[in-house]
Amino acid sequence: MGNEENVWTVDAARELYGVQRWGLRYFDINDKGEVIVTPLKEHGGSVAILDVVREALGLGLHFPMLIRFQDLLRNRVVRLNSAFTEAVAEAEYKSRYQGVYPIKVNQLREVVEEIVEAGKPFNYGLEVGSKPELYAALAFLEDSDCLVICNGYKDDNFIRTALIGRKLGKKVFLVVEKLQEVETIIKYAAELDVEPLVGLRLRLASSGMGKWEKSGGEDAKFGLSTQEILMASRMLKAAGLGHCLKLVHFHVGSQVPDILTIKKAVREGAMFYAKLRKNGHDLEYVDVGGGLGVDYDGSRTTFHSSINYSLNEYARDIVYSIKDVCDAENVPHPVIISESGRALVAHHSVLVVQAFGHVKKIPEDSLPSEPKSPHKLVQEAWQTYKYLDEDDNNPLEAYHDALHFKEEVQTHFELGLIDLEVKAEVEKFFWLISGRVLEIYKDAEYVPDEIEEIKTRFSDRYLCNFSVFQSLLDHWGYGQLFPIMPIHRLAEEPQRRGTLADITCDSDGMISKFINLYEEWVDTLPLHDTNDEPYYLGIFLTGAYQDIMGDLHNLFGRVNEAHVFLDEDEESGYYIEETIEGTTMEKVLALVQYGENDLSRKMKAQFDRAIKEDRLKPNEAMRLLNDYQKGIKGYTYLDLSRELPLR
């Protein structure tokens, strides 16, 4: 890998990790071989992630550490709105775009505040799907020109609270998911004496594609059938609220990989809008829902972790499709709403994890010397290794022999015929032979499948201080891929390949699928030898869904956060505006009903008993109890600062 003389360069690292393909010019590598972030692209400076890590460590944060680039979030809001504004102008569309951010994608207050602030020039609003989200949105979105779209099933409290928003003059839309909600809206609108803004969620025939396709289509969980739409229309008209039906909404699924799916759904949704207008309703809005995807693997394909379109293409296709249908049906162009979440927030956060151990198949001190054991299997394995490089030897045959020795030794072991030394020697030669065979095939034009498989078997396991279940749930649950790469040492060629194991006690707590441009995924990631020094990996594009969906498997809690802002006046060009400490052991334990006081009391009783029974001296016992009480206030992840201090 590298340039023509086979010299490793930073460019080779760029290509190897595909950073320029998935990074949308927000991420790159500097000459020192460190990953840099340029949150505002050409309108601002760059920050090396390792510098932020150093500073955050100085502020007392530990790994795993989530770094949010708040300016990047703002940049995404501007980019999305500009893409639609340009598409509207280009198509000579006679209305406008007015988007909303679906809070569920990342509800963190600092994230929502940043989006609302950046969205002010565009009257950018919020979408909510539950009561708590509505309560937050009503308070946080003060500008009454912005829209609040209420999706999801609703009870009386949900509907009444949304109508309280209407009383305050806010544009709160209640999107009906089932007919009963129409009755409730009519009831509370009368009670509060307020005109509701009603939307209908369409159950389109067009369904999505990819991992979230079930969100759309005729069998979707949400939405009204054509018959139900007509019934809702009649109910509203009968209550004298026909003019309050203002919006149609649909959502084909998140991360839609193929633009054709979107085009088809938008045309169908626009047709519902046109027909309902002709049916006597004063509709003004078409809400195309979410679905705008993120090219996680940079392949620009219809693979589930990719998309085959750009943001501009997405905006243009929506605007043109709606215009086309409306012109043909002779109805006015509606205001276009989109509820893009993932594409807005995915890029802004990077999870930095520390690799703290490196399990190699061949231990460093496994020298291929003549074995002392006279056991036949050991001697045969040694001979195979010794003569492997001779001209008339076939490496594939040697590998088959090695496989045979390994199997034999296992059988012997299970029958109790050999001791641990013999087993260890044969296994050592198995890995040494496999390693040598791999080297022999390194530059071969054709590599048999079996040898390709050795590559995966041969890969190392990097132990990383994080939990897949807390920080990367969609990888575990859906097999969604995220770009992962070291954030430093990229001026050095990575000589090893590995999988990543987290610190949960679950064998699923692994990452063994990584992005690749030529295949759907690869099983191992190119990595450097850690040499027992700190080694940091960035897991990128984690800002959408991962933060909030993470669970407490093994009681690993939320991770530490550092929020970064660019600032030209700072020497470094940025500052850490805020740090949020991850959940402490005390807090996660409380979530599962273990009160800290109770735990302390129980421990104290045991120490008291130990003192009474003369198993511990009072001083020592109190010191140890104090350690327990102090320790429980700590972070749930491993503290490796003593073993691997950052230099």
Ligand X SMILES: Cc1ncc(COP(=O)(O)O)c(C=O)c1O
- Residues 191-220 within binding reach of ligand X (CB under 6 A): 215
Is there binding between residue 151 and ligand X (CB under 6 A)?
yes
**Least Cβ distance, residue 469 to ligand X (angstroms):** 20
Range in contact with ligand X (rule: CB under 6 A) among 290-298, 322-330, 477-485, 562-570: 290-298
For ligand X, how many residues bind (rule: CB under 6 A)? 16
- Return all residues near 509 (Cβ < 8 A) that are at least 6 apart: 467, 468, 469, 476, 501, 502, 503, 553
- Residues 117-146 within binding reach of ligand X (CB under 6 A): 127
CA 537/CA 521 separation, integer angstroms: 18
Cα-atom radius of gyration of the chain, to the nearest Å? Answer: 30
| Residue 293 or 298 with smaller CB distance to ligand X | 293
CA 8/CA 12 separation, integer angstroms: 6
Of positions 64, 199, 210, 291, contacts ligand X by CB under 6 A: 291
Is there binding between residue 342 and ligand X (CB under 6 A)?
yes
CA 30/CA 33 separation, integer angstroms: 5
Is there binding between residue 105 and ligand X (CB under 6 A)?
yes
Is there binding between residue 290 and ligand X (CB under 6 A)?
yes
- Residues 360-379 within binding reach of ligand X (CB under 6 A): none
* 460-464/35-37 β-pairing: unpaired
Is there binding between residue 340 and ligand X (CB under 6 A)?
yes
| Residue 64 or 290 with smaller CB distance to ligand X | 290
| Residue 292 or 451 with smaller CB distance to ligand X | 292
Q: Compute how many other C-beta atoms are within 10 angstroms of the C-beta atom of residue 243.
A: 14
**Least Cβ distance, residue 99 to ligand X (angstroms):** 10
Chain position whose Cβ is nearest to ligand X? 290
Of positions 18, 64, 289, 509, contacts ligand X by CB under 6 A: 289
**Nearest 5 degrees, angle CA 176-CA 179-CA 185?**
60
**Least Cβ distance, residue 544 to ligand X (angstroms):** 6
Range in contact with ligand X (rule: CB under 6 A) among 7-15, 248-256, 273-281, 376-384: 248-256
Q: What is the DSSP string of 299-367?
A: --SSSTT--SS-HHHHHHHHHHHHHHHHHHHT-PPPEEE----HHHHGGGEEEEEEEEEEE-SS-TT--
**Least Cβ distance, residue 550 to ligand X (angstroms):** 17
Q: How many CA atoms lie within 13 A of 14 on its CB side?
A: 16
CA 319/CA 311 separation, integer angstroms: 12
Contact 341, 151 (CB under 8 A): no
**Least Cβ distance, residue 286 to ligand X (angstroms):** 14
| Residue 34 or 114 with smaller CB distance to ligand X | 114
Binding to ligand X by CB under 6 A, coded x per residue (else -) over 38-57, reads --------------------
Residue 40's identity, in one-letter code, is: L
Of positions 341, 371, 494, 538, contacts ligand X by CB under 6 A: 341
- Residues 156-185 within binding reach of ligand X (CB under 6 A): none
| Helix, strand or coil, per DSSP, at residue 77 | helix
Contact 227, 276 (CB under 8 A): no
Is there binding between residue 251 and ligand X (CB under 6 A)?
yes
- Residues 300-339 within binding reach of ligand X (CB under 6 A): 339
For 1-9, the CB contacts below 8 A with 24+ separation are 1/493, 2/493, 8/491, 8/492, 8/493, 9/491
**Least Cβ distance, residue 294 to ligand X (angstroms):** 9
Q: Which two tokens stand for residue 168?
A: 């305050």
**Least Cβ distance, residue 513 to ligand X (angstroms):** 21
| Residue 316 or 488 with smaller CB distance to ligand X | 316
Contact 385, 426 (CB under 8 A): no
**Least Cβ distance, residue 339 to ligand X (angstroms):** 4
Q: Kindly list the residues in this chain that would bind ligand X in the complex (CB under 6 A).
A: 102, 105, 127, 151, 215, 251, 254-255, 289-292, 339-342
